[in-house]
Structure 1
Amino acid sequence: MVSAANLAELPDILHPQAVFRSPMAHTPYPGAQVVQLILGTVLHVFEDFTYHRELHSTDGHSVVLEFSAKVNGKELKGIDMIRFDEAGKIVDFEVMVRPMSGLQALGDEMGKRLAPYLAAMKGAKA
């Protein structure tokens, strides 16, 4: 899906209560719809995105994917830590990114693109 830049099948593999754990925020983002929005947005933010290595847990329910990319010319490296339930649905998607300059560029760009959604989300909770 990532190499084809087409996440059309993502909803089929997300558990309804999936959680996204951002490298920029302490509080996780819950819900399949939010996870899909974040992953769809980051797919357009990253430039020259490449997965390098894949590590699997012995129980087959977790995978770690090492990647590199650029955001507005800033290079970064990171990992996606993905946990699946018994049915093979994603229940937890956590991202870690380095160095700080790449993380800041990613956070700035994601913030710009997701600001309208986040504002609407905060307004709905008030």
Structure 2
Amino acid sequence: MSDHLAPLPRQTLAGWHDFVATGNKDLLTPLLSEHIVFRSPFVQSPIPGRAATYLVLTTVVQIFENFRYGREFVAGTHDAALEFSATIGKWQLKGIDLIKFDDQGQMVEFEVMVRPIKALQVLGEEMGNRIGPELMRLKAGAAAAP
């Protein structure tokens, strides 16, 4: 098995880095599959759907300060792990974004892991304050959809 991303996922990953660097929300939507599943470090159950994932990702890039990616790991042709660091308030954090791509190159799974726990708690509080009710509504709507 090759450990090089296929061309379409590689193109999407480049688009992701452009979105993170610029904060331009218009760049994000075409990168996300309609059926993407987001796995948050705060909740056990996955968060389904493009709208909820878009909301989470566009909010978190506003919260993180000094965000930068470090190492990139590739498994097969459709999976990548991106190591990142950032600050939130007085807390330094490190994390990993685990991303799975479909054959069209869109993101179909996006999972985030963050440490240390205190930074994760502060991030969770900030996310809840900014988008908690809206995210719950989107999650409930996705669960009710056939």
For 1:6, the equivalent position in structure 2 comes to 24
Q: Which has the higher contact order (CA 8 A, sep 6+)?
A: 2
- In the alignment, what sits opposite 2:61? 43
CA distance in 2 between counterparts of 1:91 and 1:123 reads: 19
* Structure (1/2) with the larger helix percentage: 2
Poorly superposed stretches of 4+, deviation over 4 Å: 121-126
Distance 1:18 1:106 in 2: 22
- % same residue: 46
Q: Structure 1 unaligned segments of length 5 or more: list them.
A: none
CA distance in 2, matches of 1:31, 1:121: 8
Partner of 2:119: 102
CA distance in 1, matches of 2:132, 2:44: 17
Shift of 1:119: 5.0
Q: Select which of 10, 25, 33 maps to 2:43.
A: 25
Question: What is the rounded CA distance, in whole Å, between the counterparts of 2:58 and 2:26 in structure 1?
Answer: 10
Structure 2: state its 5+ residue gaps. Answer: 1-18
Partner of 2:42: helix, strand, or coil? coil
State the shift of 1:118 in Å. Answer: 3.3
Q: Deviations over 1:4-55 (max 9, x none)?
A: 2223121111110101100111011100111111000001010110101111
Give the structure-1-normalised TM-score.
0.91
| Cα deviation, residue 84, structure 1 | 0.2
Q: CA deviation at 1:121?
A: 4.2
Aligned with 1:64 (options 52, 76, 81): 81
The secondary structure found in structure 2 opposite 1:68 is strand
Which letter maps to 1:81? L
Amino acid aligned to 2:104: A
Q: 1:118: which partner in 2?
A: 135
Shift of 1:74: 1.1
